[in-house]
Amino acid sequence: MWSTNSRNLSFECREGILKHCSYNNAVQLGELGERFVKRQQPGLEAQLANFADEIAYNNHDVDDGIRAGLITVEQLLGVPLFAEYHREVLAKYPGLAPRRLVFEILRRMINRLVSDLIESSAARLRDSGVGSIADVREHSKPLIGFSDATGELNYALKAFLREHVYRHYKVRRMTSKARRVVGTLFDAFFNDPSLMPDEHRESSARMETAQGTAGRARAVADYIAGMTDRYAILEHRRLFDPSERT
C-alpha cells in the first residue's frame, strides 16, 4: 500500500515498486505510469529486485509451509528442484535430522536460482548490446531472468506453492480474517479519526483539509499500512473487545 512517505523515494524506486498497472490507472500516474502506457520494460534494478523477491519468498514459503503443517517433504518430492537437492543432501548426509535436511535443501535451491539468475542475466545483457536505460526500456523483453531450464524449475515450484500453500483452506481462513480486521479498522478510524493516536489524527485532519474525504482516507490507510500483523490484531482488540485495555 502506498504511504505519504513514498513521495520521498526516487522516481526509479517508485516506478520499480509498480510491478503491474492497468492502462487506465497508468494514465493517471503521470511520468510514474509512462512505461505502462508505452509498454516499456522497467529498469534493470526493478527487474532484478522482482526476481530477488520471488526467490526469497518462494523458498521461505516452502519452509514456512512445512513448519506450519500445510505441506510435507513427501509432497515436495514431486517438485523437481526440491527432489534434486533432496537426493543430493541425503547422499552426502544420510540420517540428517528433518529440520536440518530441509535447511540444506533450501540453501542449495536458493544458491542454484541466484547463480543461474546472475549468469543468465549477464549473458543476456552482453548479447543485447544495451548501453543506456533508454535501451533497456525499449528492449523487446526483460533482460534479467533465469535460463529456460531453471525458469521451468522455478515455475514448477511456484505452481506447487500456489496449489498446496496459498490455496490451502487454513491460509484462506487467515486471509479472510485479515481482510475483516483491516476492513473494520479502516471503517472505525475513517468514521472517527479521534480513535487514532495524536500524530495520525493530526495528519488526518491536515490531509482532509487539503483533499477532503479522500485525504482522510489516505491518512487512515497510511496508519494501517504501517502496522505489523501483531499490532493490527492488537488494535482490533483494543477497539472491539470490551475486556481489552486501551
**117-150 pLDDT tens trace:** 999 999 999 999 999 999 999 999 999 999 999 9
- Residues 75 and 30 occupy one common structural domain: no
User: Is residue 155, in this structure, part of any structural domain at all?
Assistant: yes
Q: Are residues 32 and 74 in the same domain?
A: no
Based on the fold, state whether residues 130 and 204 are members of the same structural domain. no
Number of domains forming the structure of the chain = 3
User: Does residue 119 fall inside a structural domain?
Assistant: yes
Range of the structural domain that residue 25 is part of: 4-37
Task: Say if residues 4 and 222 touch (Cβ distance below 8 Å).
Answer: yes
Length of the chain: 246
Residue type, 89: V
Of 140, 167, 194, the position where a domain reaches its end is 167
* Alpha carbon distance 157, 162 (integer Å): 9
In a domain, 73, yes or no: yes
Shared domain for 80 and 144, answered yes or no, is yes
DSSP state of 28: T
Does 68 share its domain with 126? yes
Q: What burial class does residue 15 get, using C-beta atoms within 10 Å of its C-beta: 0-12 exposed, 13-18 middle, 19+ buried?
A: buried
> What is d(CA 53, CA 17) in angstroms, rounded to the nearest whole number?
12
Taking residues 163-172, report their average pLDDT: 96
Is residue 246 within 8 A of residue 26, CB to CB? The reply is no
- DSSP H helices in 167-241: 169-191, 198-211, 213-225, 229-240
The more confident residue out of 113 and 46 is 113
Do 134 and 74 fall into the same domain? yes
Mean confidence (pLDDT) of the chain: 93
Last residue of a domain, one of 143, 167, 191: 167
Q: Looking at residues 83-88, what average pLDDT do you find? A: 98
The answer to whether residue 246 sits within a structural domain is no
Query: Which residues, 6 or more positions from 32, have their beta carbon under 8 angstroms from its beta carbon?
Result: 11, 14, 15, 18
245 part of a folded domain = no
pLDDT of residue 179: 96
- Is this prediction's pTM over 0.75? yes
